[in-house]
Amino acid sequence: MSALALHGGEPIRTQPFPTISNASGRTFGAEELALLREVIESGALNRGAGRKVAQLEQEFAAFYGVKHCVASTSGTAAIHVALGALNLEPGDEVITAPITDMGTVIPVLLQNCVPVFADVDPATFNMDPADLRRRVTGRTRAVIPVHLIGAPCDMDPIMTIAQQHNLYVIEDCCQAYLTEYKSKRVGTIGHFGCFSLQQSKHMSTGDGGLTITNGDALAERAALFANKGWPNYGQGGRDYVIFGLNYRMTELQAAVGLAQLKKLPGVVRARQERAELLTSLIADIPGLLTPAVPQGGTHTYWFYPLRVEQQTLGISTALFSQALAAEGIPASPHYIGKPIFLYDLLRRQQIYGSSRCPWDCPRGPAHPANYEPGACPNTEKALDDLVVLPMNENFTEQDVRDIAAGIRKVIEGLPELRQRGAR
């Protein structure tokens, strides 16, 4: 065995991998350029003057087999559009997941609602329905399950709990395009499904969002909320019938989105094939746990989540990731680092000036919010064990084999790592 690159040996890989940060790992091309040219030549870049945003909404709704879609400016906006359509009361509680981007939580705060966090299943990193049930109070009005990394939440018990307590369910599908749960696409199971078109997602317009629903009244309010409460995007006279924001997608974003939508099935299929190859190459290694794929569901691999049994290997996740990175294999530990509620933005509960809204504005929640270590112990353990590996539709078979070779080299070099650690 050659010496680990971390300790001066030759790395497994010296060439960069395709990345979502540039064209090497994206699918932008002639199709997007052609539609962008149509928009530019039309001179109509705003959705009120053009046709592309409405077309994207129609095609995405049809693609997902639902009745309605509302386009917006980001995945955060897509979730806010759904919450805004519900018109919840200040101080109402919304239960969501502690492993997520702040974009899931910001819309809750913008509606002056209190975010509550249910612990996760450490095998999938997704919301644990049993813990969700424990978090429901008389103030709970909605649940936002996050289909993390491309794996589906266990939606049947989540929906049962929601029905029992008359709760709305907003599925955060920003990392989970075409993910399936028991032959149903996530995003079509709850009252709303929300998608991000940010740079790193399976389909991208740089930034953008899509909110889908089968509810006619909910769809009407969602469209109004995304357009300052102004019906019909300014056609037919000025009026503001509900409170809303300006989350209007541009025709330029929609042009890219229309081209990307046609490529989405191929992108997802390619990621699944490459991820399955990687799993087959490393599944026999003791101390490493490959991604859990729920029975009857699918995983679409926004990235490749590798769980490290640190006691079994005798090294930390951080050191394992450092050794992999030295071999030229992009790897980082812990994803978001800690549960989202442990970031000061939430722990200090000071969102609006020196007030404590929404926690005490105009009325406190039914139970004090717990944003302290230990509130979600499974989450802390899951993040501590997690190593993030990239997964991309433009990876070649050799790219995947290099990742596997890097992992095996580090595993074989464990005695050296334990003895010498980082340099």
Q: What 3 state SS string does 59-114 have?
A: HHHHHHCCCEEEEECCHHHHHHHHHHHHCCCCCCEEEECCCCCHHHHHHHHHCCCE
Give a yes or no: residue 312 inside a domain: no
Q: Which pTM was predicted?
A: 0.95
How many helices, marked H, and strands, marked E, lie in the chain? 14, 15
**Of how many residues is the chain composed?**
423
Contacting residues for 353 by C-beta, under 8 A, at least 6 apart: none
In a domain, 300, yes or no: no
DSSP tag of 189: S
Joined tokens for residue 213 = 């629903």
Q: Looking at residue 1, what is its pLDDT?
A: 62
Q: Which residue has the tokens 């909320």?
A: 225
Q: Is residue 414 within 8 Å of 313, Cβ to Cβ?
A: yes
Crossing angle of helices 251-282/397-412, nearest 10°? 50
Token code pair at residue 178: 């075409």
| pLDDT tens-digit profile, the chain (423 residues) | 689 999 999 999 999 999 999 999 999 999 999 999 999 999 999 998 999 999 999 999 999 999 999 999 999 999 999 999 999 999 999 999 999 999 999 999 999 999 999 999 999 999 999 999 999 999 999 999 999 999 999 999 999 999 999 999 999 999 999 999 999 999 999 999 999 999 999 999 999 999 999 999 999 999 999 999 888 765 666 788 889 999 999 999 999 999 999 999 999 999 999 999 999 999 999 999 999 988 889 999 999 999 999 999 999 999 999 999 999 999 999 999 999 999 998 999 989 988 888 988 777 666 788 899 999 999 999 999 999 999 999 999 999 999 999 999 999 999 989 888 665
Three-state DSSP at 405 gives helix
Phi then psi for 212, rounded to 5 degrees?
Answer: -115, 150
Domain assignment present for 233:
yes
- What are the C-alpha distances in Å from 308 to residues 76, 292, 407? 31, 13, 11
Residue-level pLDDT at 422: 63
State which residues form the domain around 135: 30-261
List the CATH number of the domain containing 199: 3.40.640.10
Domain count, the chain: 1
Q: Would residue 418 count as lying in a domain?
A: no
Which residue in this structure is represented by tokens 């109070």?
Answer: 137
DSSP one-letter string for 240-278: --S---B-PPBHHHHHHHHHHHHHHHHHHHHHHHHHHHH
Cite the DSSP H helix spans in 111-190: 129-135, 155-164
Q: Detail the DSSP E strand segments found in 118-257.
A: 120-121, 126-127, 140-144, 168-172, 180-181, 184-185, 192-196, 209-213
- Look at residue 315 and tell me if it is in a domain: no
Which residues are paired to 46 by β-bridges? 250
In a domain, 386, yes or no: no
- Contacts of the segment 277-282: beta carbons below 8 A, 24+ positions apart: 277/397, 277/400, 277/401, 278/304, 278/389, 278/391, 278/400, 278/403, 278/404, 281/400, 281/401, 281/404, 282/404, 282/407, 282/408
**144 phi and psi, to 5 degrees?**
-120, 90
Return the DSSP state at 174: T
Contact at 8 Å (CB) between 96 and 118?
yes
Q: Give the DSSP per-residue string, 298-336.
A: ----SSEEEEE-HHHHTS-HHHHHHHHHHTT---EESTT
In-domain check, residue 176: yes
Supply the pLDDT for residue 296. Answer: 85
253, exposed or middle or buried, with CB in 10 Å at 0-12, 13-18, 19+? buried
Residue 71 lies in a domain: yes
User: What is the enclosing helix (H) or strand (E) of 44?
Assistant: none
Q: How far apart are alpha carbons 197 and 260 in whole angstroms? A: 10
